[in-house]
Amino acid sequence: MSQLQIGFLIYPGVIQLDVMGAYQVLAFPPNTQVHLVWKNLTPILSNEGLILTPTVTLADCPPLDVICVPGGGMGQIEIIKDVEILDLLQQQSKSAQYVTSVCTGSMILAAAGLLQGYKATCHWAFRDQLAMMGVEVVPQRVVVDRDRITGAGVTSGIDFGLTLLGLLCGEKVAKMAQLMMEYTPEPPFNAGTPETAGEEIVQPLMQFGKPLLDAFLAQTKKTASQLNLKS
């Protein structure tokens, strides 16, 4: 059985669980080789302070069957406008079986011009911004549209990974991975969406995240304008 080449773009300020939830799933089958892709092999610091070590550089990255772009904190703003990164995504997308993202990683794909004309999702707080970039946003945990697969916020990376694994290796393998992980979530609180959390939780969280939301919005407006100029 030939190995499937799967690459996660990582970068300073990446959300570590955006990467690791899906990584855990996709590393399960023996026929997958998972790469952590960055400009060099120097360890980077995630948004949460976890150190991640790239395994392959942009220059040495092999042709990927799956390219996955996770979201990030403030560090993502630099990636959205990084021509070298956007070029890599565009090149890999030409031959990849699936072009994918988790959380706000879909905004990076959109900046590369890879989600326009597709349905996609992202973290609930950034759906309006993703739509500003010409993407048809669907408020679902995982959205599959042809060869584009996108996951919503952070923990959806596990659901995304299982969905993708089912497509790559079959439902039986995906179910085995789920069982191995004992993935049967029973959260202690019913506050995982704005609808279930209620305004008393949503509003203080939005206020807490306002600097990030505002910074992303400023860059989103610039990127949307650039995309319009290209079209």
Q: Is the pLDDT of residue 230 over 80?
A: no
Q: Is the pLDDT of residue 231 over 50?
A: no
pLDDT in tens, 82-139: 999 999 999 999 999 999 999 999 999 999 999 999 999 999 999 999 999 999 999 9
Contact 167, 160 (CB under 8 A): no
Contact 54, 87 (CB under 8 A): no
Name the helix (H) or strand (E) containing 172: helix 171-181
pLDDT in tens, 31-79: 999 999 999 999 999 999 999 999 999 999 999 999 999 999 999 999 9
Q: At 142, is the pLDDT very low, low, confident or very high (cuts 50, 70, 90)?
A: very high
The residues facing 231 across adjacent strands are: none
**Coil/strand/helix, residue 27:** coil
Q: At 229, is the pLDDT very low, low, confident or very high (cuts 50, 70, 90)?
A: very low
Query: Which positions are catalytic?
Result: 103
Residue that has been written with the tokens 């060869």 in this structure: 147
Alpha-helical (H) ranges within 94-170 are 105-111, 127-132, 156-169
Instruction: Tell me the mean pLDDT in the region 178-192.
Output: 97
Identify the pLDDT of residue 33: 97
